[in-house]
Amino acid sequence: MFLEVYAVKRSEYTEATGVSQVPENKRLIEMTGARVRHSSLFPDRAEIILPSKSTFLAAESYEEILQRIAESTDGIARVEG
C-alpha cells in the first residue's frame, strides 16, 4: 500500500495548508512499517512516522487520510488534483 500526501517536516510546518500543498512537498510513502496518527501539536493535521523514525506532518487530517486509504482500490491512496 502506498500513500500519496503533501507532507513537511515538523520544523517546516505552517498553519496555512495551501503553503504545504506544493509539488516539492508531494511524497509517495510506502506504508509497510509506517504509522499514521493524530498530531498532538496540530489538531488539523496527521503525523506520518516512517520506519526510520522520521516524522512528517501531512497537509490533511488523520480522518481524511484514513478515508483515502479505505477508498483506495489499486493500492495507491492518491491526493486529489
pLDDT recorded at residue 41: 86
Output the pTM of the full model.
Answer: 0.81
Q: Which three cell numbers, joined as nine digits, stand for 59? A: 497537509
Indicate whether 71 pLDDT > 70: yes
Q: pLDDT tens for residues 5-58? A: 988 877 766 666 567 788 888 999 999 999 999 998 888 899 999 999 989 999
Q: Are 69 and 4 in contact (CB under 8 A)?
A: no
| Separation between Cα atoms, residue 62 and residue 38, nearest integer Å | 6
pLDDT of residue 50: 94
Cell of 21: 500543498
**76: which residues sit within 8 A by CB, 6+ positions away?**
1, 2, 3, 4, 28
